[in-house]
Chain A
Amino acid sequence: MTFAAPLGLLALLAIPAIVAIHLLRRRFPVRPIAGLFLWQAAHDVPDGGRRIDKLPWTTSLLLECLAALALALIVSGATLAPSASSEHLVVLLDDSVSMTAIDSRGESPRARVVARVRDEINRIGPRGRITLVRSGERPALIAGPAAFGAEAESALAAWMPLARQHSLAAGLRLSRELAGDSGSLLILSDRQSDGTTERIVPGEIWAAAGIPLANIGIVDAHRSVNADTKQGALSLTVRNYSDAPAKRVLRVTVVGRPFKGANGASDTEILVRNVDVPAGTSSISIPLPAATPPVRASLSDDALVSDNAVVMVEPQPQIVAVDDRLKDGRGKAALEKAIGALAGVIPGSPGHLAFLDSSDVASGSSRTNGANLASGFSGTNGPPAPGVWQARFGRPAPLLAGDGTPEDFIGPFVLEKRHPLLQGVTLGGVVWTGVFPLSPGAVHPLASGGDRALIGTLAPTATAADPTFLFNLDLERTNLIRSPDWPILISNLVEMRRRELPGPERWNYRVGEWVRIRFDSQPARPLHLRMGTFERDLPGTRLVEFVAPAPGGLAKILEGDQLRYEIGINPLDESEGDLRRARTESIGKFDDARRERAIESGAAFDPIFWLLLAVCTAAMFCNWWLLSPRRVPARRSHSEGGRA
């Protein structure tokens, strides 16, 4: 018999402790009687410590000692197997989607990798431990650490590689930490190591189970709609990873709901046609009517199925309504010209973005004293409604203005380059005119000249929470409106506002990209992401961000049971589609010395463990039954005889 944890034998000290307890304090079965006074002159048993009598070898004592012995042997990891050791094997599994490529025999690298892991499980035996690590940008454990073979088998069965192309370096680092000094590391992929970040060290094995295959995949997709012609289009970029042209069947279908196509048929299929795919990269453009629901474009099957189809959602343009309230003059004309050059912008009132003369705002105190913004306007068109961003030009309101006279600046200008409003803005050669001094702390400056703020943001208040930009600028005299910075500035402002409009930032994503969806108000019910059978909860905030999950498809954003948005998520991974780099080879070998360093393990799956556990449990149960107070009267009633 050997012991995996000899220190556990210290638990044997429990046996003398039990004996001492029985010596000093006996726990007798309870017997209800009548006439206790007749017994009281008998030999009373001291409660403890006063006298040590001869140890009564009761069944209870023997059972307790037996239970303590069994527990001590369990804790010490007793085993009958001589020199038993348990090898710890860490397996890094390449989780990239190319592992699912099917060769001519109908096998995939995944299947070969799973078979290899099963062989390793059999080799290390029932006492061996295995840790399965799934590679990726954020590698994760799918079994273990130090799991038994049965657990690893079930995790392997559920493992399906879906990730985009990635380096195995992060997974290697995690696997090496898990292997430590005693574990062996096996890397299973369908390709070779890159030899740099993925370089293996002695004692590790890189086993590639891939087979070079030709493949055709969709590597990029774009869906657009022309607002003027009401005509949409689906553009596909197809890559033929071989040296020979190929023919494929392109099929475009509506996803999720029936659609009445242009030909009048109420079929979900929009288009089926044969396409010639030359070697290399080619494009396919498919016209679609505007307002066509999400469509699925697929090529006929080949080695890698996952890159043969994309789901594309028609983008819904985010229109920014601009309310131009500037006074007539050079400034207003320049603004109209700059806005006219922008797509997705329409005039509107109250709109999303209002351009105002600061003089129209009677008092800047509307922000500082909490008064209703509506009361601060003297314009004829009424005040901007809540939710309207403001860009104010000209002389600041009296409460914002400080003492002094306006000045002109020709530079140098200090710009807050990180602010999206000033991205691409240089103000080179600009004469910034009519700069009034501002009271300290009135604005948060984004651009400054000398000691004066040229552009600033007003701090939001409880009654005016929407952003307000103050341009401390006389539009009539400045040359900013003729400089290249003017349209950039206006475009940045409009795009900032556009990004804050409700809806998805984009409508089609690649797997792994961040999806951002803004809601017009706090969602009243829980948000869910549903994509086929995949479903997960989303944070219930106005701005929802999540990583587009694999394997992609039509993702529905639900608020409770109500569909709010649909977005398309697609693999579109140019690197993973190239199966020509797949290899079958094995590099490296395990370190025998390391494998012999067994990790500490318990006695699970060891028959002796279960035997000891059964003995311990039985002993404790019998002892409890023996000492159970309910048992005593029942036994006594049977022993009583009758005699008159």
Chain B
Amino acid sequence: MSGPVLKIAEDLLRRIHAHGAETYPHECCGALLGRENDGSREVADLLPLANRRDDSPRNRFKLTPDDVRLAEKTARAKALDLIGWYHSHPDAPARPSEYDRDHAWPWYSYIIVSVEKGQARDTTSWRLQDGRSAYDAEAIEIAGRSAGI
């Protein structure tokens, strides 16, 4: 049985990596804008956002409800959907933490990039299971260039 797949263009993935390197040693975060048709999900654009956790930005990120509404509005304006979120784990593995799980909803795709000593390393994507007790790994399928939306 095959699991969920998230398609993303190489240039968009590079932008996520660049964002993670730029904010290192702090966590970066942003929204994934894209489409889902018949279970096939593709990132078409990104909305980089500011990490609102001033108190502990090295190991936490937060986006406010206003950020979420901005991401939804931006997606609608581009005829896309808000399909998930990305964030970085500075000097830590690209695996969801308990804290991530406690603050997640199903359906969204959660991309995590590990940034080691300022350089992006591994990239993974996850979807929270219905029961909230674990994530399913989402395979990342790298496509060509984004459509330039």
- Asked whether A and B interact, the reply is no
